[in-house]
Each structure stands twice: as C-alpha cells, then as structure tokens.
Amino acid sequence: MPNLLTEVIYTVILFVWVIAVVQFITRKLYDYMVSRGMPHNKAVYYNRKLIHIAAGGFVALLVPFLYETPLLPSILAMILALFTYLPHRQGKLLYWFQVEDNMYEVNFCIMWGIVIALSWIIFHNLWYGVIPVSFMAFGDAATGVVRNILYGKRTKSWYGNLAMLATTLPIGLLIGLPGVIAAIIASIIEHFEFKGIDDNVMVPLSSFLVILGFSYLSF
C-alpha cells in the first residue's frame, strides 16, 4: 500500500506537470513567438516538439525510477490521450499546438502508454519501453526542429533524420547493440510516410519490435 500511495502521488505530480506544459507554458511560448513575427504554423510546430520533449520524453525517463509497474503511467497516458482527443471531437482545438488535419498528439499518448506497458509485460523491464518512447519524444522532436528551421513547414528531409539519429544513438546505447540498431532503423523509418500510420506510431513500434527481436536472438 505505501508503494501504491507513493506512485499515486508521483502520478498526480506528473499529471500537473504535463498539464502545465500543454496548457500554460506552450501557450505563453506561442504568444511570444507570434508576437515576434513567427507564422502560426511554425509556432505550433515548435510547441508540438516541445511537448514531445518536456511532457513525453521527460516523464518517460522518470518512469523506471518512480514506478514498479506501468499501471499508473499507462493510465495517465490514456487520460492525456482523451484530453487531447476531446478538443478535436468538440471542434475547439488548443490552437497553440493542435492542428485540424491530424490528431498525431493523440497517437503519441496512446503509443506512449502501450509501449511502456508492453516493456514490463514482456521484459519485466520498463527501460525497454522508455527507449522506444524516447526515440519518439526526443528523436522525432530533433528532426522536426531541424526541418522547421530549414523549411518552415512539416516536410521530410534527410537532414532531419540525421539530427534524429544523432539524438537517438546515445539513448539506444543505454541498452547496447539492440538499442543502437533500433535507433538506426527508427531514424530511417521516420523519413517515410505510411498511409494512415504516423511517425508517433511507427517510430516507437518499429524500435520496440527491433528490441524484441534481439531478445529472441539472445543479445
């Protein structure tokens, strides 16, 4: 019971942190960027990547240190998925980071929760979920920022993928060769469009499957 109570407290704190990032910090940052003459779409794109890092990535890195199981983190992820889905459903977008033409941030939350849960169910080791999620949070953010600087819009570029690889390789090294190969494959896969499946699904899924495959090869 004490461990559960402690984990509940951690979850509440992390929930408040994520809400602060999504509802306040990025909104203030949007206002500042637009006031400095930045186009709406660029400001939104930077905010989406900031949320990747500050909410998705930062929280993921804390999970193995704060939790014994993925139960509460995964529940938190699904609550946040609902939180980001409802504005699309109601036609009241959180304009400083959401866009009409996709709901990728919802997929981000769902995949975050699923991969973290699977890592514990399959490996009984939360790090095997944190690594793929970090590829999505930090690596995809790196490629997005580079592309936004170079092109000012959402597009694909190998320059962005090189930035992603530079970010994901050190993260992958935390679990050795499987993580390195997963980082390389995730950084390549991110470059391509898959009909109906966005990067927030393909990056963590492909890297998790690589790590899973290596486990069967006894690496």
Confidence at residue 12, expressed as pLDDT on a 0 to 100 scale: 97
Residue 133: exposed, middle, or buried by beta-carbon count in 10 A (0-12, 13-18, 19+)? buried
Residue 122: exposed, middle, or buried by beta-carbon count in 10 A (0-12, 13-18, 19+)? middle
Confidence at residue 153, expressed as pLDDT on a 0 to 100 scale: 66
Contact 60, 18 (CB under 8 A): no
Range of the domain at 186: 2-216
Is 0.85 surpassed by the pTM of this model? Answer: yes
Confidence at residue 148, expressed as pLDDT on a 0 to 100 scale: 78
Confidence at residue 2, expressed as pLDDT on a 0 to 100 scale: 54
Confidence at residue 134, expressed as pLDDT on a 0 to 100 scale: 96
Residue 112: exposed, middle, or buried by beta-carbon count in 10 A (0-12, 13-18, 19+)? buried
Domain total in the chain: 1
Amino acid letter, 87: P
Confidence at residue 217, expressed as pLDDT on a 0 to 100 scale: 81
List pLDDT tens digits, range 93-105.
999 999 998 999 9
List pLDDT tens digits, range 182-192.
999 999 998 88
Q: In the chain, which stretches have pLDDT less than 50?
A: 219
